[in-house]
Amino acid sequence: MYMNFKRFNLFTVLLAGLFLFTACNEDNEMDGGDPPTMPPSSSMSPDFNYFEEGGDESGRVNVVNNWVYAATNVTVYSAILGSALIVPVTAYKVALTQDVSFDADLGLWIWAYDVNVGAHGEYSVKLTAEIQGPDVIWTGSISKAGIFEDFVWFEGTSAINGESGSWTLYESFANPTPWLSTEWEKSEVEGKANATFTVEKEGDSLNSSISYTATTSGDFNRSVVIVDTKADNTITVDWHSVDKNGRVKSAAHFQDDAFHCWDSQLQDVDC
């Protein structure tokens, strides 16, 4: 009788453990586990604050031709990309600060929120992420009240570890064709990130691009390469985000293949 009671207790414990294990697994399946790592904001647009803030008024008193040429081109080309796609880029950057939920029926992680894009007005955004094996499929649907609903303004894929991916951004609801593509990578171990933004829109600037690289070491820890297909010119800019010194190369502008440098005060110096 005693042995039977022990066996009964052992069976009960095992059964309870199995129940709890199954329930936990079901809960994990229902809540989707952990959400995928979101692509960094730099995968949508690089940080060029240095060229907006690096040259204060005191730094502009003297000749700073090299820095000015670099700053002008970086800000002009990045502004063209940013102004054309300010709505989807802003929508994604805001998503990085939002809460996420998991829809078990759809198998999707969903970020749903509203965003104000200045003069462009208010938009409702639904960003979804679907895990497919080693990849995450991202879809950014945007609506504007009374005008359009659930327009897929950007979409992309990323590795589930969040270290690489791509985006396609479309021109507008009125013209839903690819405007820009992005290929990006980042490595926390190597302390390096890069992204290449390529114009897909038909016209003189087709295949023009801006490539941006950020590192945590080296004489220059930031780099931009601008390929302007319209002008048939390539501009390379390297700089140090803290020390402020840098260099620029452009055969079309300088009429040579050499780098032209500036110091931490933004003054022209020999390289």
Are the C-beta atoms of 137 and 127 separated by less than 8 Å?
Answer: no
In the prediction, which pLDDT does 63 show?
Answer: 55
The 10s digit of each residue's pLDDT in 97-113 is 999 999 999 999 999 99
Instruction: Determine the Cα–Cα distance for residues 26 and 86; give it in Å rounded to an integer.
Output: 41
> pTM higher than 0.75, yes or no?
yes
Q: At what angle do helices 86-95 and 65-84 cross, to 10 degrees?
A: 90
Q: Would you list the domain boundaries of the chain?
A: 47-269
The 10s digit of each residue's pLDDT in 47-57 is 787 887 554 44
pLDDT of 12 > 70? The answer is no
In the prediction, which pLDDT does 20 show?
Answer: 38
158 CB burial (10 A radius; 0-12, 13-18, 19+): buried
pLDDT of 155 > 60? The answer is yes
pLDDT of 4 > 60? The answer is no
pLDDT of 27 > 50? The answer is no
Mean pLDDT score across all residues of the chain? 86
Nearest to 120 by CA among 75, 86, 81: 86
Instruction: Determine the Cα–Cα distance for residues 209 and 190; give it in Å rounded to an integer.
Output: 25
Are the C-beta atoms of 163 and 186 separated by less than 8 Å?
Answer: yes
The 10s digit of each residue's pLDDT in 46-98 is 878 788 755 444 444 455 799 999 999 998 888 877 788 999 999 999 999 99
**Beta strands at 192-199 and 209-215: parallel, antiparallel or unpaired:** antiparallel
If you average pLDDT over residues 148-165, what whole number do you get?
A: 97
In the prediction, which pLDDT does 180 show?
Answer: 95
If you average pLDDT over residues 176-185, what whole number do you get?
A: 96
Nearest to 245 by CA among 257, 259, 261: 261
